[in-house]
């Protein structure tokens, strides 16, 4: 079973999903779960493996989903006098201690395959993000330039978005021109998905002009409020490598929900 769980974890991370792993780390008295038993809970609430079954398992699945939402591990001790065992139809009477570990690799969708995008991908993947890079220029979007990308999608913006699910993803817009950036944002808004964050490279003047143009095109204020420009933390970054560090640092801050200094 452990091999099956590890294989499923690898598949989930490869495909950009998420899960939480619950492991029994201690027991007292009579318990259905024993030390080292494991259960993997997927984001949709389905599970693989067991930590004892019944009411205990239903409770643990709920806590696993909580850990997924917060992306923070949990250690919990459950008194089985308070949890019915559906299998036994009675109370077990012991206590069980578990460690819940969220297994996540948030998606970062990068529109554009220029120098900054290349540097962002090189920094983001070791920092625990899964990068998907989109561009309509095959000569730039190559395995050699983006060896760490989980997916390299060569297609026009509209066609690319039809193949992607930006909901809950970190979206970075850094194409070759303002016009292309605008096209990406319009297509993204029309899709109706809700990215976790939309960052666009550029100046404050560009941000203001883009917002005006998007609003004039009928883009909802709710979507406009998601756009962060200039993208990245304000650390005085100048070249592509420094900008990439600032961008990924901001993604980490958003992921971990830490306060960000005003920029």
Structure confidence at residue 16 (pLDDT): 82
Residue 252, in any domain of the structure? yes
236, 139: one domain:
yes
- Tens of pLDDT, residue by residue over 142-173, are 999 999 999 999 999 999 999 998 888 999 99
| 79 and 112 fall within a common domain | no
Q: The whole model's pTM is what?
A: 0.81
CATH number where 197 lies: 3.40.50.720
The count of domains in the chain is 2
Domain boundaries, position 224: 107-256
Quick: pLDDT tens for 53-73: 888 899 999 999 999 988 899
Per DSSP, the three-state class of 176 is coil
pLDDT of 258: 56
Are residue 70 and residue 167 in the same domain, yes or no? Answer: no
For 211, the 3-state DSSP assignment is: helix
Buried b (16+ CB within 10 A) or exposed e, 104-122: bbbbbbbbbbbbbbbbbbb
The rounded distance, in Å, linking the Cα atoms of 125 and 117 is 12
Q: Are 105 and 129 in contact (CB under 8 A)?
A: yes
- In this prediction, residue 260 carries a pLDDT of 46
Q: Do 242 and 202 have their domain in common? A: yes
Backbone φ and ψ for 49, nearest 5 degrees, come out as 90, -175
Mean pLDDT by 10 residues, the chain (263 residues): 85 89 92 89 94 88 92 90 56 83 94 96 96 96 96 94 90 93 91 87 88 90 88 92 96 78 40
Among 84, 104, 124, identify where a domain stops.
Answer: 104
């Amino acid at each position: 079973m452990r091999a099956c769980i590890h294989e499923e974890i690898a598949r989930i991370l490869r495909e950009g999903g998420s899960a939480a792993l619950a492991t029994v780390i201690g027991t007292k008295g009579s318990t259905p779960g024993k030390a080292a038993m494991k259960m993997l809970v997927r984001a949709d609430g389905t599970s693989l493996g067991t930590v004892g079954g019944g009411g205990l398992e239903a409770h643990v699945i709920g806590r696993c989903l909580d850990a997924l939402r917060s992306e923070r591990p949990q250690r919990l001790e459950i008194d089985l006098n308070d949890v019915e065992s559906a299998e036994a139809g009675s109370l077990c009477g012991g206590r069980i201690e578990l460690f819940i570990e969220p297994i996540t690799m948030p998606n970062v969708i990068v529109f554009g395959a220029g120098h900054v995008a290349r540097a962002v991908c090189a920094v983001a993947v070791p920092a625990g993000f899964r990068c998907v890079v989109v561009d309509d220029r095959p000569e730039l979007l190559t395995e050699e330039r983006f060896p760490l990308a989980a997916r390299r999608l060569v297609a026009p913006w509209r066609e690319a978005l039809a193949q992607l699910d930006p909901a809950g993803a970190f979206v970075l817009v850094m194409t070759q021109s303002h016009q292309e950036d605008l096209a990406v944002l319009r297509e993204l808004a029309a899709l109706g998905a809700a990215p976790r964050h939309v960052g666009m490279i550029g100046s404050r003047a560009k941000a203001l002009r883009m917002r005006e143009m998007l609003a004039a095109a009928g883009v909802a204020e709710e979507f406009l409020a998601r756009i962060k420009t200039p993208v990245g933390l304000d650390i005085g970054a100048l070249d592509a490598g420094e900008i990439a560090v600032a961008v990924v640092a901001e993604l980490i801050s958003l992921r971990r929900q830490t306060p960000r200094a005003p920029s």
